[in-house]
Amino acid sequence: MASISNSSFLLSAALLLLSCSTSKRIVSPKTSEATSNISVSIKDSTTVDSTIIIPEKAITIVPETSKKKKTTEKFNHTLFNKLLQKHVTADGRVNYKGFIANKQQLKTYLLFTSEKKPDASWTKEDKLAFWMNVYNAYTIKLIIDNYPIKSIKDIKSPWDYRFITIDDKWYTLNDIEHKILRKMKDPRIHFGINCASFSCPPLLNKAFTSATVNKQLDFLAHQFINDKSRNTISENNIEVSKIFQWFTKDFKTEGTLTDYLNKYSDITIKSNAKVRYKKYDWNLNE
């Protein structure tokens, strides 16, 4: 009987070793807690497809909704951003001599913009950021190409000068403002594009990006409307920039001009307030 038992034991041991050499299956010990199990495939030097069963509570599962969504910029405006931060003050004063010293870097940025035209895959924010940066960068180029001057109006037909090229197509500043940006139906663009003049909304010393453009435009709208050197506002009387007269239709799409101003004004303007427009100062914003 002992001989038979030993033989059976040796046979069982041999079968167990043979099984382990081909496929290991380790099962977690039972616990008093009811846990579901997750199968995880692994590979090592002795097995082709071994499986370990482990308690689900031993694994940290990150829900799909907890992953942060990355904003992908369609165009990299970093080079222009560096130039703006270097040569434009917080209140929008422009050091054109500084831009002349870094003319090659500005030229490089404009070359980048000329090679990539926005298409249907771009979001509205991508397009806003791109075209406003292009407008401002080419306005700076126009000034430094004609510097020294006292006013942009010293240049012959500055807004109709066809010197902007994007994807082999030529544009003027007027083309970008009236045929592209204004058609996007966002009056805030008038605070984002700069005409190189003192009465114009100050040039932002940062480039627009799709991720930040809405906050930037809200900031510029609030800054400009409450700037006492450019607009005088009280409850019953307002004397505002001619920008609000020139582009009055843009600011009245959702009500009156007063309604629009009240979106950003620190002083609530009465609906029957008298409106006048200030004289525009075309002196260079330096």
pLDDT per position as a tens digit, 84-119: 999 999 999 999 999 999 999 999 999 999 998 899
Mean pLDDT of 42-51: 37
- Beta-carbon contacts of residue 13 (< 8 Å; ≥ 6 apart): none
Q: What percent of the chain has pLDDT over 70?
A: 75
Q: What are phi and psi of 18, to 5 degrees?
A: -65, -40
Give the SS3 label for residue 157. coil
Instruction: Measure the CA–CA gap between 174 and 131, rounded to whole angstroms.
Output: 12
45 DSSP assignment: S
Q: Is the pLDDT of residue 276 over 60?
A: yes
Q: Is the pLDDT of residue 47 over 90?
A: no
Mean pLDDT of 70-74: 78
Q: Which of 136, 134, 142 is nearest to 116 (CA)?
A: 134
How high is the pLDDT of residue 54?
36
Q: Is the pLDDT of residue 43 over 50?
A: no
Q: Is the pLDDT of residue 231 over 70?
A: yes
22: left (phi over 0), alpha (psi -120 to 50) or beta: alpha
Instruction: Measure the CA–CA gap between 167 and 64, rounded to whole angstroms.
Output: 39
Residue whose structure tokens are 């995880």:
40
**How confident is residue 51, by pLDDT bands cut at 50, 70 and 90?**
very low
Is the distance from CB of 231 to CB of 225 less than 8 angstroms? yes
**How confident is residue 257, by pLDDT bands cut at 50, 70 and 90?**
very high
Who wins on pLDDT, 32 or 110?
110
Q: Is the pLDDT of residue 57 over 90?
A: no
Total-model pTM: 0.76
Q: Is the pLDDT of residue 26 over 60?
A: no
Q: Is the pLDDT of residue 256 over 50?
A: yes
For 212-225, write each residue's pLDDT tens digit.
999 999 999 999 99
Maximum CA extent, the chain? 118
Say if strands 50-55 and 37-42 run parallel, antiparallel, or are unpaired. antiparallel
For 122-178, write each residue's pLDDT tens digit.
999 999 999 999 999 999 999 999 999 999 999 999 999 999 999 999 999 999 999
* Exposure string for 20-43, b = 16+ CB within 10 A, e = fewer: eeeeeeeeeeeeeeeeeeeeeeee
Average pLDDT score over the chain: 84
How high is the pLDDT of residue 50?
39
SS (HEC) of 1-27: CHHHHHHHHHHHHHHHHHHHHHCCEEE
Instruction: Measure the CA–CA gap between 64 and 82, rounded to whole angstroms.
Output: 36
Q: Is 161 exposed, middle or buried (0-12, 13-18, 19+ CB in 10 A)?
A: middle
Length of the chain equals: 286
Who wins on pLDDT, 259 or 54?
259
For residue 114, how many C-alpha atoms fall within 13 Å in the half-sphere facing its CB? 15
AA letter at 3? S
